[in-house]
């Protein structure tokens, strides 16, 4: 989606951004994930982006395996864009961006709360150290190259 | 950084992406956060991006309060770009992108492991429901508008 420019980076952040780093991408994923949108017209109304850009993003998601095209259950001939498991697993990225935006870019307070659909519980994103359990570990991180072995 | 196009969205994801959604932004933050880079030349060598783009991103980060310019402790006249607390708190976004990329875009296995510097513990990112504790809650999320009150 971002071309091949990030691909030389042997880094999961760079590779993830190749698929979802393009402008509008994560907002489309957000709408699919949290608003249950699946129709072209729903995304377009929500985001007010040019149809050709939206079409290009949705096609890119299908190519990358983040969404799949399904026929609309009720409307013959209409199709929908539905997140795959690979797409749904971007939820923590959306949640992390939300938490940060709530804290640093929401002068009128957080506009939206995310809930667990089943029990209405608030969704909690926690970063902790697996050894000492420190929850403030993000201020004190380091990256260690891993021996790469086939997944 | 992305212009004003996202600003009509009363959404913390959109507002966060305004500041860090531009191409290269999150990779620069990654390098500052996890590799400890703070000099222009370090970022440039690491990312191999055009100097004018890197300069524009760094200036944008300073304007947005994600980084601050400090004079280099050892080299007179040279300055460094240091993450502020606001910038450092993007760590969960980087960690969430890493976890997703490790799972879905790392054919040779995850290239890097993130550790807690103090005790070398692995860093764990967990999404859970605050009521039922379900760790798979991301597949079952919903967004509820919050009454906006001043922060």
Whose CA is closest to A141, among B96, B30, B115?
Answer: B115
Q: For the residues B30-48, what does the mean pLDDT come to?
A: 93
| Partner B contacted by A3 (CB < 8 A) | no
Beta carbons of A66 and B104 less than 8 angstroms apart? no
Tell me, what's the pLDDT at B60?
96
State chain A's mean pLDDT as an integer: 86
- Dihedral Cα A11, A13, A16, A22, nearest 10 deg: -120
Q: What is the domain partition of chain A in residue ranges?
A: 12-140
A12-140 — its CATH code? Answer: 1.10.10.10
Task: State pLDDT tens for residues A60-84.
Answer: 999 999 999 999 878 788 899 999 9
Q: How confident is the model at residue A59 (pLDDT cuts 50, 70, 90)?
A: very high
Instruction: Express each pLDDT in B89-128 by its tens digit.
Output: 999 999 999 999 999 998 888 888 888 888 888 888 888 8
Q: Which residues face B85 on adjacent strands? A: none
The interface predicted TM-score of the complex, written ipTM, equals 0.89
Helix or strand run (H / E) with residue B56: helix B51-63
Average pLDDT over residues A88-92: 93
CA distance B129 to chain A (A): 5
Distances (CA, A) of B77 to A47, A149, B60, B71: 46, 45, 21, 7
| Contact residues, A window 61-90, toward B, CB-based 8 Å cutoff | 86, 88-90
Contact B115, B122 (CB under 8 A): yes
- B4 interface with A at CB cutoff 8 Å: no
For chain A, percent helix, then strand, then coil, each to nearest 5? 40, 20, 40
Q: Inter-chain contact B113–A144, Cβ cutoff 8 Å? A: yes
pLDDT on residue B89: 93
Nearest CB among B6, B112, B149 relative to A143 is that of: B112
CB B92 within 8 A of CB A100: yes
Residue % of chain A over a pLDDT of 70: 89
Distances from the Cα of B137 to the Cαs of A91, A114, A123, B103, B114, in angstroms?
10, 11, 8, 18, 24
Cβ distance of A131 and B119 shorter than 8 Å: yes
Model pTM score: 0.89
pLDDT tens column, A98-122: 999 999 998 888 888 888 888 888 8
Q: Residue B8's pLDDT is what? A: 64
Pick from A46, A138, A139 the residue to mutate for testing the B interface (most B CBs within 10 Å): A138
Is A15 an interface residue toward B (CB < 8 Å)? Answer: yes
């Amino acid at each position: 989606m971002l071309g091949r420019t990030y691909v030389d980076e042997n880094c999961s952040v760079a590779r993830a951004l190749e698929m979802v780093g393009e402008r509008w991408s994560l907002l489309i994923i957000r709408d699919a994930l949290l608003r249950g949108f699946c129709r072209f017209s729903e995304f377009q109304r929500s985001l007010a982006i040019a149809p050709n850009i939206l079409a290009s993003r949705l096609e890119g998601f299908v190519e990358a395996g983040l969404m799949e095209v399904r026929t609309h259950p009720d409307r013959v001939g209409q199709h929908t864009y539905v997140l795959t498991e690979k797409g749904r697993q971007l939820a923590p990225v959306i949640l992390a961006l939300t938490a940060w935006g709530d804290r640093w870019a929401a002068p009128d307070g957080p506009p939206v709360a995310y809930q667990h659909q089943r029990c209405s519980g608030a969704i909690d994103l926690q970063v902790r150290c697996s050894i000492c359990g420190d929850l403030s570990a993000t201020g004190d991180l380091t990256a260690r190259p891993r021996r790469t072995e086939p997944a």
